[in-house]
Structure 1
Amino acid sequence: MSPSEQFVDAQSSSGIVRQARSDSVKRRPKDRKAQISAAAAIAFSERGYPAVSVDDIASAVGISGSALYRHFPNKYAMFRHAALELTEALASALDVVSVTPAATDAQRLREDLIAVIRTTIRNRRTAGIYRWESRFLEADDRKSVRAQASAVNRRVARHLSRSDPAMTAREKTLVVAAMFSVIGSITVHNLLLPQRVMEQVLLEACLAIDHGEGATTASRLEQSSLPRTVTTNKRERLLQEAVRLFDSRGYHDVSIEEIAAAAGLNASGMYRYFPSKAELLGAVFYRAADRLDLATAAVFDSADSHEEALRSLSAMYVELSFAQHELMSVYFSEMNNLLPSHRSDLKNRQKLYVVEWARVLREIRPELSAVEAKFVVHAALNLVPDVGRMMKFDAAAENAARLQMFMSAVLFGRQAASTVSTRRGTSAS
């Protein structure tokens, strides 16, 4: 008998029988709840709440669904736990930041940001859950998560170099939110860098936002440049209504019948244009990608320098995102619901788009490696859905100008040429 077996008493007709039983049957790991929580957070972060089932999470942990219910009563409880755990991890990381009493605001801000960056890197596969919490958390839980996030935001905002009396609380909130968006951008791609280099790339981008580089040249958004149109084309109406409904309620909670009715058709009428809801979603994505490609080509055709091209690309991206924020929101949030062939094709197009920006960026900042440049581009692009959502995609010129300022700061950096030796030669700590 193996050492891992133990004896138990069992009643039989002939008396007490000693039976051997393996520890593996009786004992459960003490950290089982933590294992479930981690698996759930990864699944929700990468695939979104509706696409994940309890069985998916149980399978990832190697247990049955009934065993999982011993720790969490339902799927929502796991989602809530994951969302709260992320903000709690950030708060805990800031709690242990240690600086001397004589430290300057700049030193304190740097240490706070490093703590947030390292926590996000450790939780890279799960931190993307922040994109889903506003849609799927119940009102009270959403309020709790946002209260925790706001407390973390305020703690970092205390040390902003631009915290002069003229800067409103709202402006400080947006600056820190932009920094957190830069840090959170690592959850939307799987590019790799040594941790020390990754920390410093993200830190430099955050500090550039704090210093407000690029503010003087941010262009203004023309609110009427891309108006919402009313069309009598039935296919176009279906696309417009699908975007509106997917954005407000999510792909899984919208039926084909609802889309058709909103467009003034019956379900059979919709099938004349799209064979399935998945094909309709694919058409929505290709619409967004095509418009982005056309606008990008126009920028490159008209730009006279790499710097002008990069600033114009930023202005175009903000303009397009604000003018079609429902379409862009669906584009960012529903990728995993695409048919596999569409998803693969569109992800490749996304990668090529980032490569185009990174190529221009390296002409301006040759000290960046190809991978570092892509990190910076992802950080700049990530600002638009994150900060734009906080602005409610209000197309007021000051909102667009502020967002373009953040993007310019991240892309052009703080005296980029003079900081390369610091990044290459020292740790972020």
Structure 2
Amino acid sequence: MSEARAAEPVRRRPRDRRQTIEAAAAVAFAERGYHRVAMQDVADAVGITAAALYRHFDNKYELFREIAMDLVARLTNATAAVTSPADRTPGAARADAEAVLDAVSGETVAMRSSGNIYRWESRYLRPEDRKALAAEFTALRCRLSEPAATLRPDLDPATLDLVALAALSVIASVTAHRTPMAVGPLQTLLREAALRVLTDAPGPAPSVSASGDGDAPDEAGQPGRRRDQLAQAGIAAFARRGYHEASIEEIAAAVGLTPSGVYRHFSGKSEILRTACERAAATLDAAAEDALGHPDPREALRSLEAAYVRFAVEDRDLMDVYTADVGALDPEDQRRLRRLQRAHVDDWVELLERVRPGGDPRELRFLVHAGFNVVADLSVALRRSPGPEAKRWIGAVLETVLGA
């Protein structure tokens, strides 16, 4: 008996257990959202007990914050490893920008399955943590805007920051979809598209006003039927705080109703969300149908670009909700809306193939997703700019991303 006990292997805790937990949790948060992941889910994914998980993290929020800060640290560390040239000639600046873009794209592709928590799930970070995360991304943009200043001496610092944001948004777009491509060609495609933004983006961006909010709609105070007012109030609340954090009470208060008054028009938050997503899908589908019927492919693509940018700028909250919160719908509604989203991308790829004959359809699909991501990020960054100016500038950047 003593010999048998001596032969049993000694169980030791893996040294990288904490990193394994973070990796599993990052994928879970990215795929299902912060609110739909429990600590037990993470423990099951790692193959440990919940008690063992709590030895590493006190609660789910601490785990989520650690993941968010670690992922951005990977990006900043990758760019810090790139040596800046001593001189600032255009050739050296271009090589520096390419090296930074390669470093960012390498890390982003490596964490493709989890990187999209930044875009939407970061809404659930506490204010001080969101501020720290924003500071890290500001530093990352600065690392790219430095060589861009040499490449684009015609641009002011504010525009250079926006151009850097757009270039990084091109790369980040791969975390928002699952279209497959080998790592090498994918990184090359991302670098070239991002570099196009740095070198070919339009001149000075629109000014940002200290007050005002572009062309954004008046959330819930606009006239109309009560159901429409409630839908608009729900969209605003979901965009601002996320579907799971928003409450029926605040949606009701936004239009001067009690919660019971909401239920005379909607069965609950989920129906408001479904209505919002269906409205967005119908708007985009109508724009695509009009564009595809145009005899000139180039003009058709311009029409589609203009409609998409107009929607993003004028109804930014609805665009955000349609992009971010589909995962909160019931499974069948999710599948239906995902099919509509994929069909919309197909329409763009079809038009882009006509404009760029001979292009690889898969590469064009990546560029379309990159364009969508850039439009979304710039519409937020320019939310306090005059609407017409913002739409023109964002549209020109979109054309640059698409190589159209």
Instruction: Work out whether the TM-score is over 0.5.
Output: yes
Once the two structures are overlaid, the 10-residue window that deviates more, 93-102 or 246-255, is 93-102
Q: Which letter does structure 2 place at the counterpart of 1:237?
A: Q
Deviation per residue, 1:361-406 (Å, 9 max, x gap): 1112223211111101000011122222222364433322221121
Give secondary structure in 1 for the equivalent of 2:36: coil
Structure 1 counterpart of 2:343: 352
Aligned: 1:79 with 2:64: yes
**Cα pair distance change 1:166/1:371, threshold 3 Å:** closer
Once the two structures are overlaid, the 10-residue window that deviates more, 172-181 or 309-318, is 309-318
Q: Is the 8 A contact 1:106 1:161 kept in 2?
A: no
Alignment map for 1:125-136 (pairs within 5 Å): 125-132=113-120, 134-136=122-124
Structure 1 counterpart of 2:324: 333
Give secondary structure in 1 for the equivalent of 2:358: coil
Q: Which letter does structure 1 place at the counterpart of 2:25?
A: A
Q: Is the 8 A contact 2:216 2:316 kept in 1?
A: no
Structure 2 counterpart of 1:247: 239
**Cα pair distance change 1:92/1:226, threshold 3 Å:** closer
TM-score normalised by structure 2 residue count: 0.88
Give secondary structure in 2 for the equivalent of 1:284: helix
CA–CA distance in structure 1, aligned partners of residues 397 and 99 of structure 2 = 21
Task: Give the % identical residues.
Answer: 36
CA–CA distance in structure 2, aligned partners of residues 128 and 225 of structure 1 = 25
Structure 1 counterpart of 2:128: 140
Structure 1 counterpart of 2:207: none
Aligned: 1:260 with 2:252: yes
Aligned: 1:305 with 2:292: no
Give secondary structure in 2 for the equivalent of 1:160: helix
Which of residues 37, 59, 78 in structure 2 aligns to 1:52? 37
Alignment map for 1:280-429 (pairs within 5 Å): 280-301=272-293, 303-392=294-383, 394-412=385-403
Deviation at 1:238, TM superposition (A): 1.8
Which of residues 184, 187, 195 in structure 2 aligns to 1:199? 187
Q: Is the 8 A contact 1:113 1:203 kept in 2?
A: yes
Q: Which letter does structure 2 place at the counterpart of 1:384?
A: V
Deviation per residue, 1:198-241 (Å, 9 max, x gap): 1121111111111225779xxxxxx7798878234222122111
Structure 2 counterpart of 1:278: 270
CA–CA distance in structure 2, aligned partners of residues 273 and 2 of structure 1 = 73
Q: Which letter does structure 1 place at the counterpart of 2:339?
A: N
CA–CA distance in structure 2, aligned partners of residues 227 and 264 of structure 1 = 15
Give secondary structure in 1 for the equivalent of 2:14: coil
CA–CA distance in structure 2, aligned partners of residues 251 and 366 of structure 1 = 41
Structure 2 counterpart of 1:104: 92
Deviation per residue, 1:290-316 (Å, 9 max, x gap): 122223333344x45211222221221
Q: Which letter does structure 2 place at the counterpart of 1:46?
A: E
Aligned: 1:149 with 2:140: no
Q: Is the 8 A contact 1:247 1:327 kept in 2?
A: yes
CA–CA distance in structure 2, aligned partners of residues 129 and 368 of structure 1 = 31
Structure 2 counterpart of 1:14: none
Aligned: 1:36 with 2:24: no
CA–CA distance in structure 2, aligned partners of residues 287 and 107 of structure 1 = 45
Deviation per residue, 1:113-159 (Å, 9 max, x gap): 11111110001112112113652222222222222221121111111
**Cα pair distance change 1:311/1:64, threshold 3 Å:** same
The alignment yields a C-alpha RMSD, in angstroms, of 2.8
Structure 1 counterpart of 2:159: 171
Give secondary structure in 2 for the equivalent of 1:310: helix
Once the two structures are overlaid, the 10-residue window that deviates more, 164-173 or 84-93, is 164-173
Which of residues 104, 127, 136 in structure 2 aligns to 1:116? 104
Give secondary structure in 2 for the equivalent of 1:97: coil
CA–CA distance in structure 1, aligned partners of residues 313 and 218 of structure 2 = 10
**Cα pair distance change 1:386/1:46, threshold 3 Å:** farther
Aligned: 1:234 with 2:221: no
Give secondary structure in 1 for the equivalent of 2:118: helix
Aligned: 1:23 with 2:10: yes
Mark the runs of 5 or more structure 2 residues left unpaired by the alignment: 205-213
Q: Is the 8 A contact 2:237 2:251 kept in 1?
A: yes
Structure 2 counterpart of 1:67: 52
**Cα pair distance change 1:401/1:319, threshold 3 Å:** same
Once the two structures are overlaid, the 10-residue window that deviates more, 171-180 or 383-392, is 383-392
**Cα pair distance change 1:284/1:304, threshold 3 Å:** same
Deviation at 1:161, TM superposition (A): 6.2
Q: Which letter does structure 1 place at the counterpart of 2:306?
A: A
Q: Is the 8 A contact 1:120 1:184 kept in 2?
A: yes
Deviation at 1:276, TM superposition (A): 3.2
How many equivalent pairs are there?
A: 392
**Cα pair distance change 1:22/1:376, threshold 3 Å:** same
Q: Which letter does structure 1 place at the counterpart of 2:182?
A: P
Once the two structures are overlaid, the 10-residue window that deviates more, 117-126 or 253-262, is 253-262
Q: Is the 8 A contact 2:239 2:318 kept in 1?
A: yes
Once the two structures are overlaid, the 10-residue window that deviates more, 258-267 or 176-185, is 258-267
Mark the runs of 5 or more structure 1 residues left unpaired by the alignment: 8-19, 217-222, 414-429
Q: Is the 8 A contact 2:371 2:401 kept in 1?
A: yes
